[in-house]
Amino acid sequence: MTELTRIKEGMTVLDVHGDKVGTVKFVKFGDEDPNHPGPETVTADVDTTPDNIIEEVAAVFRDGTELPETIRKRLVRYGYVRIDTGLLSADRFAILDQVVSVTNDEVHLTADGEELVKA
């Protein structure tokens, strides 16, 4: 988990082949302990008062993103990186388990960019 906390907004996201998928738009950490529910949310340069956290998480799913309920629950449960793929493409979501490493300015995934959930 320590390495995952280094993920910041604007970092380049690379798939398993080293191809650029996009840039980090938002990071949400999931429930680590099922006995103590309450996902943590981390975003870069955002005030972390409870109102902003709630607004950020709510914004992920109210901006036209139509994801099936089972996928939304999985993303919230395990945490995810929302990836901005550009103006002409839908954002993508990588579950935090798909993050293999984080370098100074890059997030490396274990999945092909085309396999990621699309918003």
User: Which band of pLDDT confidence, cut at 50, 70 and 90, is reported for residue 78?
Assistant: confident
Q: Rounded CA gap, 61 and 59, in Å? A: 5
Provide the number of structural domains found in the chain. Answer: 1
Q: What proportion of the chain, given as a percentage, has pLDDT over 70?
A: 68
> Looking at per-residue confidence, does 5 or 19 come out higher?
19
DSSP string, 17-73: TS-EEEEEEEEEE--S-TTS---EEE-TT---SHHHHHHHHHHHHHSS----HHHHH
pLDDT per position as a tens digit, 16-52 = 999 999 999 999 888 655 445 554 544 444 444 445 5
Domain that holds residue 18: 3-118
Q: Note the pTM of the prediction, 2 decimals.
A: 0.71
Residue 3: count of CB within 10 angstroms of its CB:
12
Q: Tokens for 6? A: 């280094």
